[in-house]
Structure 1
Amino acid sequence: GIAHDFNNLLTTILGNVELLSMKTDNEAILNRLKNIEKAVNDGAYSVRKLQTFTGFGKKREEKNVSVDISRLIRDAVEFTSPKWKDDCQKNGINIEVQMDLQATSPVSMHPSEIREILINLIFNAVEAMPEGGTLTFRSRENNSKVIMEVQDTGVGMAGETCKRIFDPYFTTKGVGNSGLGLSVTYGIVVKAGGMIRVNSEEGKGTVMTLTLPVAQKRIPDEVDITGTPETKSLKILVIDDEDQIVDLLSAMLEGLGHKVVGVHDGRKALSCMEKDRFDLVLTDLGMPGVSGWEVTKKVKEMSPETPVVLLTGWGAEYEGRDLTDSGVAAVLGKPFRLEELMKMIADYCR
């Protein structure tokens, strides 16, 4: 329930970010919108992990992709600038960021995991420099390993603290801190076949060093829609009990030149199908009254050749499954990108 609702919220945010990005060429605004998009994607990845962990999502190996460490470092620095720059300057604290990023081969990890690691390390470094200081990032490659360092000039740690820093629930920050940040970071790095170590001296600062194996083959981290054939103008029925998602999908699809009929419940959808004919039906799965499964069954009875695509916040459970026997052509898990929607339409409505 909560994961499904959260995915619906993320869908609305991501879709509107993409629509806004199409309406501006202001570089500063586009960068901010890109940061929101990355945060949504990271949030969706966290929800998927939560669904799998709790048993409500189909357990599967998440697909790692080839990612450029230097680019992700710059992304994380930009993403966290409100913390290390804006908040600090407001309080009269200055933190200088320096980068010594050498070109490296890509590593094979999910970009959301690397961003999670970097953001955690950046926040820890900022908290270790209450009077300000310098935050330095380095990257290099050695013996088919990518080495990344995050260094601060903060208060540092004693030897005994360094020994326990990756232990679950260990914290030096007092009540209110979970003590899980670095233990989670350690688990992510080890799972990827890497290692993390700490070197710290009281009064001088800390260096966190991550070593990750180079990717064996390049796997792009974005949907490739190059060569996706254009589709003719289609008449599309959109069904979702969330008004915002119906409005969002209508704006997206109409922007692509399609004619859209949007309804907010399954009963109205059935009524529309009795009166009109559609080239494609996009329906939410979990709706009160008439579910996406019932809508699909009715479509197949009335127009067997019309493809039905399920849009669902439970994508972790249904993605990758062959549901053609149920009349479903494809499943598009929320949140989805406009490019994914375009590719899906091209695949099933040529």
Structure 2
Amino acid sequence: MSGIWQQTEDAGHSGALALVASVCAALAEQRPVNAIEALLAQGALRLLDAAVFAVIDLERGGRELRVAQVAAVAEAAAAARGRRFPRAGTLVHRALAEEAPVRLAAPVPFAPDGLLLALTAGDELRNAVAVPVRRAGVGVGALVAVNLRAGVDERALELLRLLADLQAIVSNQGRSAAEPEGEGRISAEEKQQSLSRTRWLAALGEVAAGVAHDINNALNPIVAFAELIRARPDDPENVRVFAERILMAARDGAETVRRIQSFTQRRPDTSRRTTVSLTSLVREAVELVRPVLDLRSAGGPVRIEESVGEDLLVHANAIELREALLNLMLNAVDAMPDGGMLRLVGRREEDHVVLAVQDTGVGMTREVLKRAPEPFFTTKGPRGTGLGLSQVAGIVRRHGGSMELESWPGVGTTVLLRLPLAPPVAERANPPPGILLVDDNPLSLEAMAATLRSGGFHVVTASSGEAAVAAFEPGRYRAVLTDLGLPGLDGWELVERLRAMDPAVRVGVITGTSLERVGDEVKRHRVDLFFTKPVDPERLLAAL
């Protein structure tokens, strides 16, 4: 895998978020467009582990391509900067015409176009991808990456789509600066929309820069439980429990990344919600916070009391709600530097569930209480990001609920979360169906198959789209799960083939791309199930 993706998935997303933050900060500072594009190109080259990355603009009424910026490993490729090429017959033209990324893989089936020849500067063309840059629904340019070390996989495409969104803003900023006021080419409404979106990008940059807040919340228990395993390796029961806690915290970290993806699309992802027990969520959050109590409250012990009814069910993303609870509990511990009492009390009020998180800490003044839910407001100095309460409020709102704050200086603080009550889950008894699982990554295929078999499913595996077609028989499988980034016959093409063979088969896709980015394709191909990597085993088994 290419450089950034050779590390852990969270580390990879952290690198992408750092680039987003840098570009957004440059936008907010109104830096020159060519400087911002150079920043974007250099960062993309590193993250993709590519030989060349180029920003392409459309000129002369869309008939010509201009290489606006180039970042390259070899200096010869940088000579393409500023050159112009006819649009017709190029990879960029295909991407703009299809309004979707277009990629080439070895062996390249035709002679490279003039633009690709200039970017490779005489080197062999092993692979390439062009992603359209669109503004207000109209193509204005493209991003081109050449000779990615690991090829053009779904993770690379996900990053390129995000960068194309950013480049649309960058190019729009350049257009606005270049056109005189008196020519009337940009209406007042367009200017306001541009300003609004630029401000939103600046906010995204701040969120990206501060996302370490939640990543660190996830890493704290991971490190603590890992140390406990190392200290007690001969205690199998504790090792199992600690490993479960580490897995839980790692999933929380992955969910933080998914929320950043959703933030870039400005639409909530409701695909990961199930009926969950609030009691279980509270207990899991308490277990995650216990190992860090002594570290966060060195002046005295913090005691925890729980009183949550067993029948309180909510329809929720369990990872998001657990993280909201973890944020509130850590805030409460920080408010009790000399120790104190942390209480979690849950009850039913008509068709809602109310959960109170109470501490006996220093409390807040009226002025601080009023500003506490604001993004980036903090009283913790350099060690605070001001993201905790604002993210909790956002999570609760996305679940159709509300958050209230009560606080008294010297007495403590109470946070009330109000969420819609979910009806009890009806028991279902279906025989385990056969599952056809398709993934070109051997480790991912093995792990996913083991998960499915642990749930009682009979699993047949295939490492390519062609192998899946050969293994498929109408009526044999209740569901087919396929990765999208397959060599040769890709995931979308495979779905079409299988639908033609058996229109009734349930089809699920597994991808590193968020649902918001491929939602139109999901609808067009009538996909029944959608899973974002890393896949939560419990959610996978529940969905099937």
TM-score, length basis structure 1: 0.66
Q: CA deviation at 1:166?
A: 1.8
Q: Between 26-35 and 170-179, report the one with greater CA deviation.
A: 26-35
Cα deviation, 1:161-220, whole Å, max 9, x if unaligned, reads 22322222111111242212112223444563434112131xx342223052552x5164
**Distance in 2 between the 1:315 and 1:210 partners?**
31
- 2:263 aligns with 53
Structure-1 separation of matches of 2:453 and 2:339: 50
Residues 152-301 of structure 1 aligned to structure 2 (within 5 Å): 152-189=359-396, 192-201=400-409, 204-212=410-418, 215=421, 218=423, 220=425, 226-231=428-433, 236=436, 238-252=437-451, 256=456, 258=458, 260-263=460-463, 266=464, 269-270=465-466, 279-280=476-477, 282-297=481-496
Q: Counterparts of 2:343 and 2:404 in 1: how far apart (Å)?
A: 17
Q: Contact 1:319 / 1:332 at 8 angstroms: preserved in 2? A: no
- Name the CA shift for 1:71/1:297 in 2 (closer, same or farther; >3 Å): closer
8 Å contact 1:80–1:119 — kept in the other structure? yes
Contact 1:100 1:137 in 2 (8 A): yes
RMSD: 4.4
- The change in CA–CA distance for 1:67 and 1:253 in structure 2 (over 3 A counts) is closer
Alignment correspondent of 1:139 = 346
Counterparts of 1:259 and 1:62, CA distance in 2: 24
Query: Deviation per CA, 1:32-89, whole angstroms, max 9, x where unpaired?
Result: 455456546655654554443323x98665686655444432221112222225x469
**CA spacing shift, 1:329–1:53, aligned 2, 3 Å:** closer
Bigger Rg, which one: 2
Q: 2: CA distance between counterparts of 1:214 and 1:299?
A: 39
Instruction: Give the deviation of 1:314 after TM superposition.
Output: 3.5
The answer to whether the Cα contact below 8 Å between 1:102 and 1:139 also exists between their aligned partners in 2 is yes
Conserved? CA contact 1:314–1:333, under 8 Å: no
How many angstroms does 1:285 deviate by? 0.8
Change (3 A) 1:60 1:168: closer
1:175 counterpart SS class = helix
Counterpart amino acid of residue 336 in structure 2 = M
* In the alignment, structure 1 residue 337 sits paired with structure 2 residue 537: yes
Q: Pick which of 131-140 and 276-285 moved more.
A: 276-285
Q: Where does the alignment leave 5 or more consecutive residues of structure 1 unmatched?
A: 8-25, 345-350
Show the counterpart of 1:120: 327
**C-alpha distance 300-88 of structure 1, shift in aligned 2 (>3 A):** closer
Greater helix content: 2
Cα distance in 1, alignment partners of residues 341 and 429 from structure 2: 46
Alignment coverage as a number of residue pairs:
306
Letter aligned with residue 227 of structure 1:
A
SS of the residue 2:381 aligns to: coil
In structure 2, what is the Cα distance between the partners aligned to 1:343 and 1:209? 33
Contact in 2 for aligned 1:189/1:196 (Cα 8 Å): no
Which residue identity does 2:415 align to in structure 1? T
> Partners in 1 of 2:364 and 2:416 — Cα distance?
18
Residue identity over aligned pairs, in percent, reads 29
Give distance in 1, aligned partners of 2:502 and 2:314: 45
User: For the residues of structure 2 that align with 1:158 and 1:32, how far apart are their CA atoms?
Assistant: 39
Shift of residue 140 of structure 1? 3.7
Whether the 8 Å CA contact 2:484–2:490 is kept in 1: the answer is: yes
1:219-250 CA distance string (max 9 Å, x none): 64xxx773112447x7x4x4323232111133
Q: TM-score, normalised by structure 2?
A: 0.46
Flag the 1:170–1:99 CA change in 2: closer, same or farther, 3 A. same
Distance of aligned partners of 1:226 and 1:31 in 2 relative to their CA distance in 1, 3 Å threshold:
farther
- Contact in 1 for aligned 2:369/2:405 (Cα 8 Å): no
Question: Could you tell me which amino acid in structure 1 is paired with residue 466 of structure 2?
Answer: L
67 and 339 in structure 1: CA distance in 2 versus 1, 3 angstrom threshold: closer
| Kept in 2: contact 1:157–1:205 (CA 8 A) | no
Q: Partners of 2:241 and 2:347 in 1: how far apart?
A: 26
* Aligned 8 A contact 1:58 1:316 in 2: no
